[in-house]
Amino acid sequence: MARLRVAVLISGRGSNMEALIEACRAPAHPAEIVLVASNNPAAEGLARAAAEGIHTYATSHKRRSREDFEAELEAALRGRQVEMICLAGFMRLLTDGFVNRWHNRILNVHPSLLPAYKGLDAHARAITDGVRFSGCTVHLVRPEMDTGPIVVQAAVPVHSGDTPDTLAARILTAEHRAYPLALELIASGRAVIEGERVTIARAEAADGILFNPAG
């Protein structure tokens, strides 16, 4: 069976990109990363991807329209026959037109248990509110920020002495487990998208990982 052709979009170091690369290195994994692209030509993750033999591409978003930037990016994606996009620390909001053209084919990871704490400063807001658990959400992207069908969530405790940085580090570790799992579920066809909900066929328990089992 052909593996799902994936592009990872980054703006910096790309630690989630590294987790995805590591997972897709397994020959039996149903996805392969065929492109790492960035809006920042100096992004550290580009060199890491190139060292793994992955095709890289960078085009700056500065001093140009969003539509022009996305047209160039999309040409690179289609040039590599990309079927799925994973956003991994990509610090640009995509236009509605781009998102709609790639409907159900863009994954993102957000550092909260959506729909709680959309947007920025999710860790600080969770601590301020005194929640006992936070975590991360891997979801399909929609034009509205931090919305879309949830594929996988991972929960972590919030400790009494946490700072935004310590909570962020704990959640990032969870992201490195949840994101590769979500991509595997999508690529294998076990994640079934029905409208604005995802169910998982043949769900298997995973410590700290939450998803919606089928039926």
The catalytic site residues sit at 110
> Rounded to an integer, what distance in angstroms lies between the CA atom of residue 131 and that of residue 165?
16
Separation of CA 151 from chain center: 11
CA distances from 161 to 53, 112, 164, 173 (A): 42, 18, 10, 18
Helix (H, G, I), strand (E, B) or coil at 128: helix
Q: Which residues touch 196 (CB under 8 Å, ≥6 apart)?
A: 148, 149
CA nearest neighbour of 14 among 5, 205, 39, 212: 39
- State the residue for tokens 């160039």: 72
Three-state DSSP state, 56: strand
d(C-alpha 93, C-alpha 4), whole Å: 24
Contact status, residue 188 vs residue 30, Cβ threshold 8 Å: yes
How long, in residues, is the chain?
Answer: 215
